[in-house]
Amino acid sequence: MDVASYLAAAPEARRPALARLRELCVTELQGFEESIAYGMPVYVRPGGTEAEIAWANQKQYISFYLMRTDVRDAFADRLAPHDMGKACLRFRNPATVDFTLLRDLLRATSQAGPGRVC
């Protein structure tokens, strides 16, 4: 499966938000490799072995995985009001996805250079 097939298989109501999320990842993570791993789209830094960013269409929400602990720590104040697990930011309603925050997280990840992932 590739990312285009993953998107095509997503529910129609979520597809626009997921497509926009993918566009943000491709734009902001220049040079990162996009693939499917663990059943979801992932983004790996060139020469890297671990995904730093991933996203998924879950049963109850759209999830955005931010595996870089340094970036999460730097954005702790902006992440605090959101439904956030250890590395998973969850949006129950596609209309409430905070694309500005996601863009900023992607930019910070890209600009940070290689780093530790959880």
The whole-angstrom separation of Cα 36 and Cα 118 is 18
The mean per-residue pLDDT over the stretch 23-46 comes to 96
pLDDT at 115 over 80: no
What confidence tier does 116 reach under pLDDT thresholds 50, 70, 90?
confident
Q: pTM above the 0.85 mark? A: yes
Q: Where are the beta strands (DSSP E) in 2-78?
A: 33-37, 40-44, 51-57, 62-66
- Helix (H) or strand (E) holding 69, with range, is helix 69-74
Q: Is residue 71 part of a domain?
A: yes
Residue 92, amino acid: R
Q: Is residue 90 part of a domain?
A: yes
Q: Is residue 38 part of a domain?
A: yes
Q: Is residue 117 part of a domain?
A: no
Q: Which of 37, 28, 33 is nearest to 71 (CA)?
A: 28
